[in-house]
Structure 1
Amino acid sequence: MEQAAQAANGTLFTRMVRAIFGAPKVLKDPHLFHKMSLIPVLAWVGLGADGLSSSSYGPEEAYRALGSHTYLAVLLGLATALTVFIISYAYSRIIEHFPHGGGGYIVATHMLGEKAGVVSGSALLVDYVLTITISIAACSDALFSYVPAQYQHAKLAFSCVLALLLIVMNIRGIKESVTVMAPIFLVFVLTHLVLLLDGVFTHAGRIAPLTHEFHAGLSHDLSSIGLFGILMLFLRAYSLGGGTYTGIEAVSNGLQIMREPRVQTGKRTMVYMASSLAFTAGLLFLCYSLMGVAPVEGKTLNAVLADSLFAHWPMGSGLAFVTIFSEGALLILAAQAGFVDGPRVMSNMAVDSWFPHRFAALSVRLTMRNGIVLMGSAAIALLLYTKGSVSALVVMYSINVFLTFSLSQLGMSRFYLKRRREDPQWVRHLSVHLVGLILCATILVVTTVEKFMEGGWLTLLITSLVIGVCYLIKGHYQKVRQGMSQLDEALLDFPTSGPVNREEPGRNEPTAIQLVSAYSGFGIHTLLSIVTAFPKTYRNVIFVSVAVIDSGSFKGAEELEALEGSVTAGLKKYVDLAQRLGFAADCRMAVGTDVVESVVEECQRLGQEFPRSTVFTGQLTFRLEKYYHRMLHNETAFAIQRRLQWDGLTTVILPIRIGIN
């Protein structure tokens, strides 16, 4: 009865987990990549929201920086729209050369070296955490603008709940979370299209007076502060509106979720995002000028604009509310972009050993669960630290993304300089990236200087700490790799003598089931340990390996086939070595995202096939066990041992020593 109750509880728990996070994906489904990938419109929703939502605060920041010199706003709008197209086109070129995604981290690593890559990757990670944090905080501010004062104290808790909901939605899968949020995006686009077109066409008669105001203001400033003063004023406003461009890189980072043909889908998505952002930001500046919008305490400029334009419409107050409410809702989609791309950057860095390798793993829903949880947890921590203050977060936001932009443009400029003999159009391509580099570097320098004492220093400090931790992690993995290479040098060409055993493993013979990964000195050391520790005990050796689907291999059907082929080839080498040592040997392979689950299922089947079997696996051991070893090196061997021994299968962990501390 008790066992039945436990089984029932386990089933209930499993159903609850699947109801929240969704059922596992079927890896052998030939249409899997097609089902999970995004068409350009959905990619625009999932990845373009970060850029488009910045129109809620980027143009306002730049417009406010003009002070009383608002006659420059139209030029500022043109410069902003042009900059959006330049940066977007530059990233379209990056999409062509890096079709598997990765954005600024991959570009900097391949074009400028791993040191530039880790700087770019760390800056992107901090930026995506800030994307999530500031988007949720700004959304909460918008929603609580219509909440009675006695409930304002619940705003921070509400922000944390939003972050938790986004974590759950993204663990379920990118496409599902994007589909749920698509209506919000559509409402934003429609309401703002009506807002901007109404502002331009109903105030077209103001264009001539606006031209006169421009000439009058320019003449006055030329005589008072001079041309250099006007240029510096314009440059400052232009740079402080740099938040408008955040999110442009999201498409190049998220190419893995694009539907094939991936490059064309990514470039089309980039066109959608750039066009919508340039249109919205540019016309906002024009509407500010045509309407003569002035700041109002407790309201954004967009709210002032909407209230003024819709005041004479039927149900105009309701339409203005929906318009501004949609901005707050779209900021949740901007947070979504952080959850989409942040874990992907983290997984790319994990594959290169800058982050713990477990962050490259995929869940049964084929999402980077560890990265999603870490990004969400960091965002919640920042929300609690800043108490959800948008003013405290916004000063930290723009610096890192323009550091990454600058490194990306520098890397592509170097690329085309090196290819000037092979590419007849290298001058045209180089000029785009050089212009992008100048624009991004200018915004980076001005923003850092202007915002340094207002919170920019904290962004730089956090990014520096992340870079430092990455170097510590990389250094540890390099030491481990050196120790493993010594095993490879000593054992990969292990000599054997005696007859080769080509017999099939006997069902009732004593059987050693050895868990292995790639063919390496580590696995050979484990096999030899079995031979020496249990001499003449086993007649059969069955090698078991799992083709682990992680973010590095989950890029298409061809990559999965190549992974399976590589694992199979390694298993055949182990079988050949065991046969040369006199064992009857065979192998088994499983495919999955969770090593423990896949190994346990395969070993259970082998336990039934070979009743007199023992499972063996190796585990790295260090001379001095440190607190961080468990985080950097998985505890897979012990987890497998617990599961199999509970099922009645004897499991032995053999220590593999390497000469590092």
Structure 2
Amino acid sequence: MIKKIKHLLFGAPRNPLSQDTRQHISLIALFAWIGLGADAVSSSAYGPEQTYLALGHYTSFALYIAIMVLLTVFIIALAYNQVIELFPSGGGGYKVASRLIGPYSGLISGVALLLGYVLTISISFASGIDALFSVLPDGLQHYKLITEILLIFAMMYINLRGMKESIKLLMPVFLGFVATHVAVIIYGVMLQRHHLTIATHQTVADTHHLLGSVGWIAMVAILLQSYSLGGGTYTGLEAVSNNVNNLAEPRVRTGKWAMFYIALSLGLIAGGIIFLYFLWDVGPVAGKTLNAVVFEKTLSALPYGHYFLILIMALETCVLFVGANTGFLGGPAVLANMAIDGWVPRRFRTLSSRLVVQNGIVLFGVAAVIIVLMTQGSVSELVILYSTSVFITFTLSLTGLCIYWAKNRTNWKWMVRLPLSIVGFLICASILVTIILSKFMEGGWLILFINGSFIALGIAISYHYKNIKKQVKKLDQLFTFPVATTQEFAPPIDTDLPTAVFFIGDSIGEGMHTVLWAHRMFSDYFKNFIFVSSGVVDVNSYESDKALEQLKRKVDKRLQYFVNYSKQHGIAATSLCSFGTDTVQKLIEMSEEIKIQFKLPIFFSARLVLKNETWFTRQLHNETPITLQRNLHLRGMQMIILPVMLGK
């Protein structure tokens, strides 16, 4: 009954070893543009407003900002095309910093990315609700916060069903947003085409006046501050590079086309909106977003302009929710890569039966709700936190690319890509420094403190895993014995005789320790040995067909070692293995098969026990043996857990 309810809510399990499954969940360029680019494109709902308001009285300089935004979008997009080429298995900014600079740079970039994706969810829903409530009665304003929280949980549920399903569901909204916003921008520019010359002359006049009164340094400072505080406009451009492993083959080509669609749509819409602000000379209105103000002015002459305005703002709200979806897609992917490298608990690398990083999705949803509650859904506060995190990653990624092309000058590509990477680095670094200095007391200090805290936590987790790995390696060396490949005198399996079943994990030392202790405890009682293992299909092994094949060979080789060892000592032995995302479920299924075939089998498993175990270290390890034992006991099967002490 529970399984049926689970399948109804989240969908039927998928076979991770099936080619049809991989093809079904892989994203073509169109779906990647929608699912992974929605965050970037939806930032046009709040990024242009922040940069325009930062101009203060110098709104005529919005013409310069619009041009700068368009150029910046394409420069960053071209830089991340290089990331897609260099790391076709995904990982984006985290892998760039880790592989091209160093592991600790990767940790800094990874933490900033994680926080950036949490804030993607928070700011997208906060800004979306602001846009929606801009056209609703003022009396409903106090429902904004609870609406944001409920919608975050709803989006979390959609993503637990699967990535492609969430994108298909949201595709009409995204395409409607792009179409309506491009249309209203073109219409608004056409209406004000006669004012364009006057507005441009005003910009030139204001430029000469400011240069004459305060000098070019002050003018550059004004433009730089405005340009930097609109840094939220460029957030999300890294999403494709983080998720290349989820793209349809050929991945690199699909990724580059998706990046082109994202850059083109974001550049035209964000730059176009700032240009509309400039032409229509808009100002802030209480209870309304600046987009709502300029669109209302633009559409006021149309017969049904008010209804078209409601449609546009509704689509803007919805596309921000689609943008939040990028946080649920990209964030868990980065978290999984960091789990593989040992910076975060390894449970975050596992996949659910729907082949999504379930633990990561839930974590990001809950974290986003906490951030919304802390900031009360204030977009201006969230943008500072968001932009700082994202531009830490941008800056480190471009630093890595600069180092890579400086070292790899073997063909003509470096002559183009090194200067491009340097320009991108200078842009991102200047934006990052400006945001931190100008908004330090308004949230800049907080995001640096949060980043620093999680970096320290990551170092502590990594130290623990490295220490455990070192001790397990010693255990493997101690308990790995030479084994002959052929055993001519081994007896055959007899299902009527006592049988010991050993659950084998990644460590030969753990398994052999269990086998030797079981043999010592029960002397010559057992006549059959069965070695059982479940190959875990996680983010790392599911990234390609080659990785899956390597996983299969690794598991088969490990099991064959134990079978050969047993036969060498005159004990009948065989092995059984399966592959999937849920280790416990697969082991239970194989145990039930063994129970049917063999009379009264007894199951054995090792469990690592740390000498100085604490609550913190317990959270870093799963309790598979204990969970498995409880499930087997409920099914009338006997299982013994043998401790393996580490840290003596």
TM-score (norm: length of structure 2)? 0.97
Larger mean Cα displacement after TM superposition, 441-450 or 64-73:
64-73
Residue type of the alignment partner of 2:630: R
Alignment partner of 1:217 is 2:194: no
Q: How many angstroms apart in 2 are the aligned matches of 1:388 and 1:211?
A: 37
Q: How many angstroms apart in 1 are the aligned matches of 2:58 and 2:29?
A: 40
Partner of 1:208: 197
Q: How far did 1:149 drift?
A: 4.8
Matches within 5 A, 1:129-140: 129-140=118-129
Residue from 354, 373, 384 that aligns with 1:384:
373
Q: How many angstroms apart in 2 are the aligned matches of 1:500 and 1:528?
A: 22
Q: How many angstroms apart in 1 are the aligned matches of 2:44 and 2:184?
A: 13
Partner of 2:271: 282
Partner of 1:447: 435
Q: How far did 1:194 drift?
A: 1.1
Matches within 5 A, 1:144-543: 144-420=133-409, 422-493=410-481, 501-518=489-506, 520-543=508-531
Which string of whole-angstrom CA distances, capped at 9 and with x for unpartnered residues, describes residues 248-298 of structure 1?
001101112211111111110000000111111222222222222222222
Q: How far did 1:156 drift?
A: 2.1
Partner of 1:77: 66
Q: How many angstroms apart in 1 are the aligned matches of 2:195 and 2:394?
A: 37
- On the 8 A contact 2:483/2:565 being kept in 1, the answer is no
Q: How many angstroms apart in 2 are the aligned matches of 1:210 and 1:156?
A: 39
Which string of whole-angstrom CA distances, capped at 9 and with x for unpartnered residues, describes residues 475-511 of structure 1?
1111111111111221223589x98643321111211
Residue type of the alignment partner of 1:413: C
Q: How far did 1:241 drift?
A: 1.1
Which string of whole-angstrom CA distances, capped at 9 and with x for unpartnered residues, describes residues 368-427 of structure 1?
00000011111111222223232332221100110100100111111111112x233312
Matches within 5 A, 1:625-636: 625-636=613-624
Q: How many angstroms apart in 1 are the aligned matches of 2:298 and 2:83?
A: 40
Partner of 2:14: 25
Which string of whole-angstrom CA distances, capped at 9 and with x for unpartnered residues, describes residues 286-336 of structure 1?
222222222222222211111111111121011112112221111111110
Partner of 2:91: 102
- On the 8 A contact 2:63/2:203 being kept in 1, the answer is no
- On the 8 A contact 2:54/2:226 being kept in 1, the answer is yes
Residue type of the alignment partner of 2:399: L
Partner of 2:39: 50
- On the 8 A contact 2:349/2:357 being kept in 1, the answer is yes
1:389–1:215 distance in 2 versus 1, CA, 3 Å: closer
- On the 8 A contact 2:584/2:627 being kept in 1, the answer is yes
Q: How many angstroms apart in 1 are the aligned matches of 2:283 and 2:146?
A: 33
Identity %: 40
- Give 3-state SS (helix, strand or coil) of 2:471's partner: helix
Which string of whole-angstrom CA distances, capped at 9 and with x for unpartnered residues, describes residues 544-598 of structure 1?
1111110111123332222112111111111111122221111111111111000
Residue from 638, 643, 647 that aligns with 1:655:
643
- Give 3-state SS (helix, strand or coil) of 2:124's partner: helix
**Number of equivalences:** 648
Q: How many angstroms apart in 1 are the aligned matches of 2:344 and 2:143?
A: 36
Alignment partner of 1:613 is 2:593: no
Partner of 2:583: 595
Residue type of the alignment partner of 1:530: A
Residue type of the alignment partner of 2:449: L
Residue from 539, 555, 578 that aligns with 2:566:
578
Which string of whole-angstrom CA distances, capped at 9 and with x for unpartnered residues, describes residues 440-496 of structure 1?
000000011111100111111111111111111111111111111111221223589
Q: How many angstroms apart in 2 are the aligned matches of 1:108 and 1:42?
A: 27
- Give 3-state SS (helix, strand or coil) of 1:397's partner: helix
- Give 3-state SS (helix, strand or coil) of 1:395's partner: helix
Q: How far did 1:232 drift?
A: 1.4
Q: How far did 1:30 drift?
A: 2.6
Residue from 106, 115, 132 that aligns with 1:126:
115
Q: How many angstroms apart in 2 are the aligned matches of 1:320 and 1:148?
A: 15
Q: How many angstroms apart in 1 are the aligned matches of 2:434 and 2:127?
A: 24
Q: How many angstroms apart in 1 are the aligned matches of 2:390 and 2:609?
A: 40
- On the 8 A contact 1:501/1:583 being kept in 2, the answer is no
Which string of whole-angstrom CA distances, capped at 9 and with x for unpartnered residues, describes residues 334-364 of structure 1?
1100000100110000011111111000011
Larger mean Cα displacement after TM superposition, 167-176 or 389-398:
389-398
Q: How far did 1:146 drift?
A: 4.4
- Give 3-state SS (helix, strand or coil) of 2:31's partner: helix
Q: How far did 1:28 drift?
A: 4.0
Partner of 2:76: 87
Q: How far did 1:19 drift?
A: 1.6
Q: How far did 1:122 drift?
A: 0.5
Residue type of the alignment partner of 2:86: H
Residue type of the alignment partner of 2:593: R
- Give 3-state SS (helix, strand or coil) of 1:89's partner: helix
Residue type of the alignment partner of 2:168: T
Q: How far did 1:151 drift?
A: 4.3
- On the 8 A contact 2:16/2:542 being kept in 1, the answer is no
Q: How many angstroms apart in 1 are the aligned matches of 2:33 and 2:319?
A: 13
Residue from 620, 633, 645 that aligns with 2:633:
645
